[in-house]
Amino acid sequence: MAVTNEEISELFEDMASLLEMKGDVIFKIRAYQRAARTISQLPQSLELAVRQEQELKKIPGIGDAISKKIYEYVTTGHVAAYERLKADLPDGVLTLMNVPGIGPKTAMLIAKETGASTVEGVVKAIHQGRLQELPGLGERAAENILRHIHSLRTKDQRTPLGQALPIVERIIADLRERCPTLKKATPAGSVRRWQETVGDIDIMGTAQDPVQVIDALVDLPYVREVLVHGPKKASVVVDPGLQVDLRIVEDDSFGAMVQYFTGNQQHNVRLRDYANRMGLSLNEYGITNLKTGQIEKFADEEGFYDRLGLQMPPPEIRQGLWELDLAQKHALPRLVEQSDIRGDLHMHSDWSDGREPIEAMMEAASRFGHQYVALTDHSSGRGIANGLSDERLQSQIKILRTLEGFPVKILCGSEVDIRADGSLDYPDELLADLDVVVASVHSAMGQPVEKMTERIIKAMHNPHVTVIGHPTARLLGSRDPVEVDMEALLQAALETGTAMEINSSPERLDLKDTHVLRARELGVPLVISTDSHSSGYMDKLRFGVAVARRGWCEPKHIVNTMPLEEFMAFIKAPKSERIHIFAGRVD
């Protein structure tokens, strides 16, 4: 059975909770929590690392004891220390912690004193008045617990970035319109880090009249509920049900504040640890000299990091992994930017399921500033998407080859279905006429992992397949990714010279950030495409660029940053040679 990093991360998170219940040393507990959070965002599967006998201790926050436990879990399926802890404590204590407001201490107290081991048991204990009598708890606490039980912590209460970002932009625009004194305004938190989903929205600003801005937020027509309304801070819930926190701060502490609220938490923990060793203490107001007690303020983040002798890491890679080590050496990578992208290799016209004619798409691509663009309408297997028959594809190719009047170089392409058995929808002779072939899975998504992996790898071995489109076929919040051995796909991509797509569509973001980081490590060619179905969609490119940045990609890691001539040479070369061309770029 495959062991996922997520599973291992949860195990250590649980171990930390159990240790806290037992009243163990807080620093040991923190160590487990740190390890858990680091593991949840690692690019590479720990199972694989163990099997390849790699050194786990190189991972920050993982030392002797934890690496041994990882080894134990991967090889035996359980961790003895964890089982012992669980056996020592009342049943169900971990379940109780699913209620917001109930942490390890309270869970332990409730389980021990009331015997409740389920959420229902807690409700019963409250109705019987037994919970209220416990030391440290009272009527208010019981009321809060009851209220929170209705909004149980579940994993999927996060909002896709694609939905959150337009809301942020609208709020900032509306505040600007209503408050002339609003100076700076920027999102912080997971939005600024371009995380694929966000829990809430943080906005930081400076203004001559903070009250005016705070009041303006509270009065916005799409504010559904006001949670907090103070002179410098407000928290509201806006229409689709998303919490927005706005803070207005003094100009001179804006840098420290934005840094603090951008996180992520792991990054901040490591940064403050690092600062402590310099005799400095960090908080959201500035940098304090521990000896003199003097506080320095910072109007911008660059100054803040600079005071610590660090290069400022882009928000997307503030992950608490290795960014601070590189920042210290002033050796952070120059991450890819939207302006580096020279072409879009995945889009549809009204020949299949796009909404606009070819000409409109080409006009938009030209306006966007692309040097080249591939039209990739669906293949015949996508009946529902009005996929092109062999004959229609042939006539489309003819039209595209003679289309004139666009500054952008037009490439003939197709998004061809990878059928359930790994064969493709078009014969090889037809595929050979195309410049760019994006091969994607759109059907039989429930296949077991071995079959799905084999299926996609078979498509990679086709000499005409340029790119694998949205490799896991997930739809954020609505469709789980297909089960596939990503490591095997990436290895096959290397062997066959096939590129992997970063699909920029905000509901896909597929490959995802951690896959991209792994692909980058291995040297797999990556492509950032939009999968546009209308001309207005092309600017979704920024989402794909953000995923690439979260995967630490520089321009050289992305195939479609190549200028036209270089790109044409790349796709004209046989696949077996492409990986060498690409590697020459990366070295």
Binding residues for DNA (CB under 7 A): 20, 25, 27-28, 30-32, 35, 57, 60-67, 100-107, 135-142, 144, 189, 199, 233, 265, 268-269, 272-273, 275-279, 281-284, 328
Q: What are phi and psi of 495, to 5 degrees?
A: -65, -40
Cβ proximity to DNA: between 277 and 574 the closer is 277
Strand partners, 288: 281, 295
Sign (positive or negative) of CA dihedral 149, 243, 36, 501: positive
CB of 126 to DNA, least distance (A): 12
Assess contact for 251 and 261: CB atoms under 8 A. no
Would you list the DSSP string of 213-252? HHHHHHT-TTEEEEEEE-SSEEEEEETTTEEEEEEEE-GG
Smaller CB separation from DNA, 141 or 420: 141
296 by Cβ neighbours in 10 Å (0-12 / 13-18 / 19+) ranks as middle
Q: How far is the CB of 105 from DNA (least distance, A)?
A: 4
In DSSP notation, 141-164 reads: HHHHHHHHHTT---TT-PEEHHHH
In angstroms, the CA 536 to CA 533 distance is: 9
Beta carbons within 10 angstroms of residue 274's beta carbon? 18
| Shortest reach from residue 72's CB to DNA, in Å | 12
Question: Could you tell me the smallest distance in angstroms from the CB atom of residue 60 to DNA?
Answer: 5
Nearer to DNA, 237 or 573 (CB): 237
In terms of CB distance, is 189 or 481 closer to DNA?
189
Q: How far is the CB of 48 from DNA (least distance, A)?
A: 20
Q: Please identify, using beta-carbon distances, which residue of 208 and 265 lies nearer to DNA.
A: 265
Output 102 or 365, the one with its CB closest to DNA. 102
Residue closer to DNA, measured from CB, 115 or 230: 230
Q: Which is nearer to DNA, 67 or 376 (CB)?
A: 67
Least distance to DNA, CB of residue 335, Å: 24
In the complex with DNA, the residue whose CB is nearer, 240 or 309, is: 309
Give the shortest CB-330-to-DNA separation in angstroms: 12
CB-nearer residue toward DNA: 329 or 479: 329
Taking the complex as a whole, the smallest distance from the CB of residue 182 to DNA amounts, in Å, to 22
CB of 82 to DNA, least distance (A): 11
- CA 269 to chain CA centroid, nearest Å: 20
CB of 186 to DNA, least distance (A): 17
Q: Which candidate, 317, 326, 322, 279, places its Cα nearest to that of 61?
A: 322
Which strand (E) or helix (H) includes residue 426? Answer: none
The least distance separating DNA from the CB of residue 355, rounded to whole angstroms, comes to: 39
Residue 344 contacts residue 564 (beta carbons within 8 Å): no
Token readout for 561 is 């940053």
Question: Residue 39 or 424: which CB sits closer to DNA?
Answer: 39
Residue with Cβ nearer DNA (35 or 538):
35
335 exposure class (CB count in 10 Å sphere: 0-12, 13-18, 19+): buried
Cβ at position 526, least distance to DNA in Å: 29
Conformation bin of residue 143: beta by default, left when phi > 0, alpha when psi is -120 to 50: alpha
- Degrees, nearest 5: CA angle 479-480-481: 120
315 secondary structure, DSSP code: G
Q: Please name the amino acid found at residue 231.
A: P
DSSP 465-515: --EE-STT--BTTTBPPPP--HHHHHHHHHHHT-EEEEE--TTT-BS-HHH
List CB contacts of 495: < 8 A, sequence separation 6 or more. none
Q: Whole-angstrom Cα distance, residue 123 to residue 145?
A: 9
Buried b (16+ CB within 10 A) or exposed e, 203-235: bbbbbeebebbbebbeebeebeeeeeeeeeebb
Pairing of strands 242-249, 201-207: parallel
